[in-house]
Amino acid sequence: MLDAAGRSEQYLDTNGVTLRTIVEGDGPLVILLHGFPRCWYLWRHQIDPLKAAGFRVAVPDQRGYGPSSRPERIEDYNILELAADVIGLAEALGQEKFYLVGHDWGCIVAWYTALLYPHRLHCVMGLSVPNQPIGPAAVNPPGLDELFWYIRYFQNPGIAEKEFEADIDRTFRSFNGARGEGAPTGPKQREATFLGDGPIANKLLPTITEEDHAYYVASFTESGFRGPINWYRNMGRIPTLTPWLEGAQIQVPAYFLAGSDDPVLKFTPNSFDRQDRNFADLRGKQLIDGAGHWVQEEKADAVNAAITSFLTSMREEVGG
């Protein structure tokens, strides 16, 4: 079983699954949610600064990832289950209300947790993925096939998993060898594979060490890719599962942060500028200059300052 890289871990039961969770520190609870293709280790640079700021930090491997539960059914990875996992995690740690931060898919889960359970959050902070209006257009925007073609590629069970699991070291060198841009975007032929047949980068991102790379490889060697990719296979169900949320704003205090070079922003035009309209109480939005998709790995100090500043100000406001 994959080790916790020297961190304190707990296996917590929540919403019918068990999530391996890094739990450290004392004080009000903050939960950090990773996205794809990452695991709890994505937040390794944020744990100690948040502890030093007086927070108890919980960082799960979400369902489908690492040694956490990996349900077989595709539908078990829908947004309602993912949000309920977060609430159950807080309950397992004895907390009624908590602070929530998410990145990439973890950001989507954080936004929906805030929409579905506003009474359970002091505030929410999202990294990379803007909060979009709820409705069919949010999960099937114009140009999806051309720009985010990989989402279509992920829909057929077994295809992407086979490609990625054939050589997980190569897969992660592809993910981490470009300039931190994360998921590939831009026009591509429908019959093309995700990684392609050509050479991959022979040099990792400057912020990804060989040790970091090896940890991600080990995590996905244990879990495989089926569970994580099943999250994408439920994207189209979001509007039908949450029809009452169409047009809803997030009501709890919120903050949005992204890298200035994150392609998610580049292919959701004007989304950063328009964030204000999707929140009732947006306390701030920020671009980290020179950062790509993996902003908390690429610009850890700037991200740590932003997260601790927002959460500390909210703790002072709510008194806990």
pLDDT at site 152: 87
Cα–Cα distance for residue pair 3/312, rounded to 1 Å: 31
Asked whether 288 and 302 are in contact (CB, 8 A), the reply is yes
pLDDT at site 151: 87
Mean pLDDT of 179-192: 50
Nearest 5°: the CA angle 119, 45, 173 is 110
pLDDT at site 150: 84
Q: How far is CA 304 from CA 131, 300, 311, in A?
A: 21, 6, 11
| Of the listed ranges 102-106, 180-184, 248-252, the one predicted with least confidence | 180-184
Asked whether 251 and 118 are in contact (CB, 8 A), the reply is yes
pLDDT at site 178: 47
pLDDT at site 147: 59
Residue in this structure with the two tokens 């309209």, named with its chain if needed: 277
pLDDT bracket for residue 179 (50, 70, 90):
very low
pLDDT bracket for residue 180 (50, 70, 90):
very low
Instruction: Determine whether 213 is an active site residue.
Output: no
Domains of the chain as residue ranges with CATH: 9-318 (3.40.50.1820)
Cα–Cα distance for residue pair 61/158, rounded to 1 Å: 22
Residue range 19-29, pLDDT digits in tens: 999 999 999 99
Looking at the predicted structure, is the pLDDT value of residue 141 above 70?
A: no
Residue in this structure with the two tokens 């068990």, named with its chain if needed: 18
pLDDT bracket for residue 177 (50, 70, 90):
low
More confident site: 246 or 194: 246
Instruction: Determine whether 273 is an active site residue.
Output: no
Residue range 253-280, pLDDT digits in tens: 999 999 999 988 887 778 899 999 999 9
pLDDT bracket for residue 202 (50, 70, 90):
low
DSSP 104-164: THHHHHHHHHHHH-GGGEEEEEEESS----SSHHHHS-TTHHHHSHHHHHTTSTTHHHHHH
pLDDT bracket for residue 200 (50, 70, 90):
low
Alpha carbons within 13 angstroms on the beta-carbon side of residue 190 total 5
- Kindly name the residue from 61, 76, 104, 262 that is annotated as catalytic: 104
Residue range 118-129, pLDDT digits in tens: 999 999 999 999
Total number of residues shown for the chain = 320
